[in-house]
Amino acid sequence: MNDEVIFCCVLKAEISRWQQIADFLQRNNLNIDLDIEQFIVALDEQQQLVACGGIAGRVLKCIAIEPALRGHGLALRLMTTLINQAFSLQRYELFLFTKPENEALFAECGFHLLASVDDQVILMENSATRIHRYCRQLAQQRQPGQRIGGIVMNANPFTLGHRYLVQQACRECDWVHLFVVQENASEFPYEDRLALIKAGVADFKNLTVHPGSDYLISRATFPSYFLKSQKIINHCHMALDLQLFRQQIAPALGINRRYVGTEPLCPVTAQYNREMAYWLTTETLSAPVIELHEIERRQQAAQPISACRVRELLARKGPDAVRSLVPETTYRYLWQHYGSPPVAHSLAV
Amino acid sequence: MSKLRRSMLFVPGANAAMLSNSFIYQPDALMFDLEDSVAITEKDTARLLVFHALQMPLYKDIEKVVRVNPIDSPYGKLDVEAVVRAGVDVVRLPKTDSAEDILEMERHILAVERKCGRPEGSTRMMAAIESAQGVINAPEIAKASPRLIGIALGAEDYVRNIRTERSPDGIELLFARCSILQAARAAGIAAFDTVYSNANNEEGFIHEAEHIKQLGFDGKSLINPRQIELLHNVFAPTRKEVGHARLILEAAENAASQGLGVVSLNGKMIDAPIIERARWVLQRAEASGIRQ
Amino acid sequence: MKITQQSHAGTLESGDVLIRIQPVDTQEIEIELESVVEKQFGTAIQRLIHDTLNKLNITGVRVIVEDKGALDCVIKARVQAALIRATGTQLLEQNWSEL
């Protein structure tokens, strides 16, 4: 019946079309997410929008079909077009956000459930095995012990506050697994953040530093984390991210405690910590409980040390202003990027 | 006797489901399309789908035509390689403007036949004429190769080329249709009409089918399986035609059994073309029944 | 031949199949199959895909198959198309008789 439907791609710059999509989604009880770059839309013979699906990085979402046309194979054609569009952008490993009642439909399109939040949202990915392969790889780095800690950090950049957190965890645990947020959405690129962490924790002997992945605070599982400037934090994204940690990643490594710093300065992280308490420790969820250890922030000059504060000082006053807040390795790195080499500088002083 | 080719059903080459099941519709020929119905990004996978569909046992007994991309496009040569190797019956050239287009295609077909060990000349050709230049050159095109079984009008591109659009009565196509028909008949090959693009308008389709049958066309390309039976019915002979054809053939058999060189019926002499035509009427009656 | 890049071919429509090809670190052939006819034809489809890859000497690959009831010839065509997309038309030109 919908042979006459035409599929086309709409970019964000096409303002009137974008508005049309927003209206269509609204009629279907959805909002356009801010990180969507493009939509695939289906137009009928009268050029009316009858279906759409958005692409944000490797995530497909805001997928809707005109109620009257559901069940005519339009969904499969839309999804084929949407998936092929993502593939042609070289994005092969895809995630999808939808409502739980649509799980079966997207299962038909090759998507598998990763995590769900009540009756609100589910996260799926287009592989039945990818997360299991990832967890199998993690499991090879399991370490013996009763108390196994886990830390996820962005470290933008790595400060003495971060180091203090790692130190406390290493002191209290038999082994600690530290994951570095992989997305390159921060001021300091991922490779540099990873290198600074490794350099800053080299003296701890019961610690593994893991590269990040799509399943840990990534644009896929937790898109709103990277829209901090919008001051919007999506409770559901947070819940999905924490469930993946509790149900998949922690069991692979035997992690039974998660360490975080108290967060007085950054509202997104502060809320994340509160949610964490619920999603990691609620007994009713299927996976084993993970103890949450919130470590009081290390202070300097009666103020907590945080990456927010370091970035702000750095921007206003330069590397020397943050010297007492960061490890030597980070300080040297900052000089290389923000001024003349520290050696030359100290001679000048 | 020449093969019956009233209906040629277009099957988009990228549509896996249609390629898998279009044998159930029983048109006189299937035309798998690699050209305009296939998006640029799907050309490679459509070519392989058609390559394998051509070899499906279910299609063994049906004539298979493939419309390939123009030989000067990035896809044409690979298309020819694929379909000739897969045993296609007829290669349909799109956008044929001159006899040279035919000769060039023929060279490629011959080269592939030699490479894969297929008998030389066993791949037949059909040329679609889709421009004013092609219509003007139709007589040379029609005679360009012994492989040619027929020429066809491709109206969608043609009307754009002559700067008009298609109308219900088809007046804008009359010159092209007549030219193509004349060229085909003069060369002793078949003439095929273009598609009727509104699949939902049965009345309009029948009207056009009657029109091209009256002009003398052998058949028509179709885009919707529903059009097959409608077309066959238009091409079915009337009871009167069938009765007359039977009488002619009986007279011819009688004459032959008596060793007579001349056949006559009702006092009139009947020559070979009339007998041939009577056979053709009965063939159509056998295929389509008597016209309703 | 070793696969070095990802590729895909096909659709999710009925009678078709969506194929994804990914390089893997080993020399293995891994097949992830989802099919509407998995119970009846799962093994046959697996074998068909193995044969198709073997004929073209392809190793070190993961094939992800989302089958919507495609005929063998459609599956073969889509797998071959995805392979050619991942490796270039040389594969096609040199292997007509193996397709």
The answer to whether the CB atoms of C13 and A108 lie below 8 A apart is no
- Mark yes or no for CB contact B17/C13 under 8 Å: yes
Q: Which residue has the tokens 């009268």?
A: A46
From the list A73, A76, A110, the residue facing C34 with the nearest CB is A110
Least CA distance to B45: which residue of chain C?
C81
Q: What pLDDT was estimated at residue A340?
A: 52
Cβ contact, residue pair B51, C99, below 8 Å:
yes
Which candidate from B48, B78, B81 shows the least CB-CB separation from C77? B48
Kindly list the residues of chain B whose beta carbon comes within 8 Å of any beta carbon in chain C: 16-17, 19-21, 44-45, 48-49, 51-53, 55-56, 78, 81-82, 85, 116
Q: What DSSP designation does B118 have? A: P
Of C13, C77, C89, Cβ closest to residue B49: C77
* Interface residue C48 vs chain B (CB under 8 A): no
For an interface test with C, give the residue of A77, A83, A125, A131 to mutate (most C CBs within 10 A).
Answer: A83
CA proximity to B177, closest of B126, B207, B211, B142:
B211
Interchain contact, C96 vs B81, CB within 8 Å: yes
List the single residue in A79, A92, A128 with the smallest CB-CB distance to C20. Answer: A92
Q: Which pLDDT score, from 0 to 100, does residue A345 have? A: 39
Min Cα–Cα distance to chain B from C10, Å: 8
* C36 in B contact zone (CB under 8 Å): no
B45 vs C9: CB contact, 8 Å cut-off? Answer: yes
pLDDT tens series, chain A, 349 aa: 445 789 999 999 899 999 999 999 999 988 888 889 999 999 998 889 999 999 999 999 999 999 888 877 899 999 999 999 999 999 999 999 999 999 999 999 999 999 998 878 899 999 999 999 999 999 999 999 999 999 999 898 999 999 999 999 999 999 999 999 998 877 889 999 999 999 999 999 999 999 999 999 888 878 777 765 555 557 788 889 999 999 999 999 999 999 998 877 677 777 778 888 889 998 877 789 999 999 988 888 888 888 888 888 888 888 888 899 999 999 999 888 876 544 433 333 3
Nearest to B118 by CA among B91, B149, B145: B91
Closest by CA position to A33, among listed A88, A93, A95 = A95
Query: What is the value of pTM for the model shown?
Result: 0.85
C26, C40 Cβ separation under 8 angstroms:
no
Q: C70–B81: do the CB atoms touch at under 8 Å?
A: no
* DSSP-H helix ranges across A154-258: 160-172, 190-200, 235-244, 250-253
Report the length, in residues, of chain A. Answer: 349
Are residues C16 and B16, on separate chains, in Cβ contact within 8 Å? yes
- Residue B162, burial from CB neighbour count under 10 angstroms (0-12, 13-18, 19+): middle
Size of interface A-C (CB pairs under 8 A): 40
B126 token code pair: 């059909």
List chain C residues with CB under 8 Å of A79. Answer: 12
C92 and B CB contact within 8 Å: yes
Q: Which residue of C has its CA nearest to B16?
A: C16
Measured CA to CA, the distance from residue B32 to residue B47 in angstroms comes to 10
* pLDDT tens figures, B54-84: 999 999 999 999 999 999 999 999 999 999 9
Nearest by CB to residue C13, choosing from A76, A92, A129, is A76
Cβ–Cβ gap B52/C13 under 8 Å: no
CB-based contact (8 Å) between C88 and chain B? Answer: no
Helices (H), A226-320: 235-244, 250-253, 267-281, 307-317
C-beta of residue A140 within 8 angstroms of C-beta of residue A147: no
Contact A76 C18 (CB under 8 A): no
Q: What mean pLDDT value characterizes chain C? A: 92
Q: In what side-by-side order are the strands of the sheet with A148-153? A: A207-210, A175-180, A148-153, A257-261, A291-295
Helix/strand number for chain C, H first, E second = 3, 4
Task: Give the CA radius of gyration of chain C.
Answer: 12
State how far residue C47 is from chain B, nearest Cα, in angstroms.
Answer: 18
The pairing of strands A299-300 and C61-67 is unpaired
Handedness of CA A67, A73, A74, A75 (dihedral sign): positive
Cβ distance C84 to B44 less than 8 Å, yes or no, reads yes
What pLDDT is recorded for position B145?
Answer: 97
Please give, rounded to a whole number of angstroms, the shortest distance from the CA of A268 to a CA of chain C. 36
Residue of C nearest to B17 (CA): C15
- H or E stretch at A64: strand A59-65
| pLDDT value for A309 | 86
Q: Which residue has the higher pLDDT, B137 or B262?
A: B137
Chains near A, with 3+ CB pairs < 8 A?
A: C
Residues of C in contact with B81 (CB under 8 A): 96
What string of DSSP letters covers B212-258? HHHHT-SEEEESSTHHHHHHHHHHSPPHHHHHHHHHHHHHHHHHHHT
3-class SS of residue A121? strand
The 8-class DSSP code of residue C59 comes to B
Verify whether the Cβ–Cβ distance A129 to C11 is below 8 Å.
Answer: no
Looking at beta carbons, which residues of chain C come within 8 Å of A109? Answer: 12, 66
pLDDT at B251 over 90: no
Q: Which residues pair with A294 in a beta bridge?
A: A260
Task: Report yes or no: C17 at the B interface, CB cutoff 8 Å.
Answer: yes
